[in-house]
Amino acid sequence: MNLINMILMNKTNITDMTVGSPTKHILKFTLPLLIGNLFQQFYNMVDSLIVGNFVGSNALAAVGTCGSVVFLFFSLTSGLAIGIGVIAAQYFGAKDDEKVKTTIANSFYVLTISSVLVSLIGIIFAPLILKLLQTPSSIINDSVIYMRTTCAGIIAIAFYNGVAAILRALGDSKTPLYFLILSSIINVVLDLLFVLSFHWNVFGVALATIISQFVCAVGCIYYAFKKVPYFNLTKKQLRPHRIIILQTFKAGIPLALQNALIAVSCMVLQGVVNSFGETIMASYTINMRIEQLVQQPYSSLGMALTTYSGQNMGAGDLARVKKGLHRATFIVLIFSLILLPNAWLFSENIVGFFVKDPSVIDIASKALKITSIFYFGLGMIYVPRAILNGAGDTGFAMINGLSEVLCRIILSQIFTRIPLFSYWGIWITTGFTWTITATVCIIRYKTGKWKTKSLINLSKDVSE
């Protein structure tokens, strides 16, 4: 182990996941990610609670109808951030410090350009996109305000995600947690101030989010450059490097497109939801918030597995990668079995936190029972997908995203047109989409093609 690795192990939260117990590493790495994601979802839920209880169900529907669109724009930059993290993890696993630092330096160019472009597109085309989603005229003005304000903060989100992805690639899942907690607290305080005191309603909720994200991004960047030696970059490393930039796009674009395809499929489904009116829209929004919360353990586990897989692929230890998948599958099974009875027993209580409208509570609670049956399928999207991404098999990501698009588009048109199902077909579609997408991921893993997809083997020396 070279000097820089020794310094990192002793002075920071950096973790080498190529040695030691796979289960211990995965769980230890997942826990801070889970706590951070729960805090993030906490302030997303606070947005819904404040809007639903103090502004109204129409405003809640306005925020909800933007969810899939905003996710689309966020996903374009977050996919690149994940790709950057995969490359950094593989170089770290291979103990190639120079290329880790060059990857970090060039990631800033990639994130800056992509986030500015995406922000401009979201701000300019917000009205057109929301009209295409059949957003009712009663809420479209609030929806446009929320979407434009949120898109203005994409650059902050992109940089936080980029730095956080690199820190996680180096085995540090704790530091991003600290800044997420800070961001969550700021978001909640500003939500209450902007909505209850200033009466800025939907605009206030969106503004609180982007301010808190900006603080989070600045704090994380400051910490990285101050405390992590890999961020001590030379002028040579800061120069744009064609090969590393191409690598970043090679890894990140398929992941960005995967997320974009998923977002598009969610937008299509949102359009179906909107056609049933404000009550179904509000019910769907509440269930989306709950699903986002439920997904956090699975998502956190997936992020841990991406780092674990990336580092061990860089080290050339394929057997250890397989062990990680087996351990993670067991974790998903246990967690899903715990969630299912709770969703059935307490569905009305859970939904009642978000809204007081009895008709919305009735529909949303029943919808929660439907989707909870499919939670294991949801979890098993994240496990093999994370292993494949960390291994460098990012090209499959587009195929995987396409499977979600086709499922949501085709199944929603089928199920919602069956008289027996009607709008219940929305949530049946969601459950079957999770199950089919997970199956596609598992099949891809079983083919073994990921074993030859290491990204760093395709690169040339950074001195070239």
2: phi > 0 → left, psi -120 to 50 → alpha, else beta; which? beta
pLDDT above 70: residue 244: yes
pLDDT tens, position by position, 31-70 = 998 888 777 777 676 777 788 788 877 888 888 778 778 8
Percent above pLDDT 70 for the chain: 95
Q: How remote is the C-alpha of 137 from its chain's centroid? A: 30
What pLDDT score does 11 carry?
52
Phi, psi torsion values for 138, nearest 5 degrees:
-70, -20
pLDDT at position 437 is 93
415-455: per-residue pLDDT in tens? 999 988 998 999 999 999 999 999 999 999 999 999 988 87
Please give the pLDDT value at position 462: 40
Please provide the average confidence, as pLDDT, over all residues in the chain.
Answer: 87
Query: What pLDDT is recorded for position 461?
Result: 41
pLDDT confidence of residue 7: 37
Reported as a single tens digit per residue, the pLDDT across 247-289 is 888 888 888 888 778 777 887 888 888 888 888 888 888 888 8
DSSP letters, 52-64, are: IIII-HHHHHHHH
Average pLDDT (322-350) is 92
Q: pLDDT tens across 113-134, in order?
A: 999 999 999 999 999 999 887 8
Angle at 206 between CA 203 and CA 207, to 5 degrees: 80
Residue 12: what pLDDT? 60
56 against 364, higher pLDDT: 364
Higher pLDDT, 43 or 313: 313
Residue 36 has a pLDDT of 81
What's the half-sphere exposure (Cβ side, CA atoms, 13 Å) at 318?
10
* pLDDT > 80? residue 463: no
What gap in Å lies between CA 362 and CA 211, rounded to an integer?
A: 35
Tell whether pTM > 0.85.
no
Give pLDDT, residue 9.
Answer: 47
**pLDDT of the residue at 13:** 72
Whether 460 shows a pLDDT value over 50: the answer reads: no
State both tokens at 94: 């291979």
Tokens matching residue 203: 């605009």
Distance CA 379, CA 385 (A): 10
Q: What is the pLDDT of residue 457?
A: 63
- The per-residue pLDDT for 388 is 94
Q: Between the CA of residue 22 and those of 18, 56, 121, 325, what are the distances in Å?
A: 8, 48, 42, 10
Q: What is the dihedral of CA 375, 380, 382, 386, to 10 degrees?
A: 170
CB 257 within 8 A of CB 79: yes
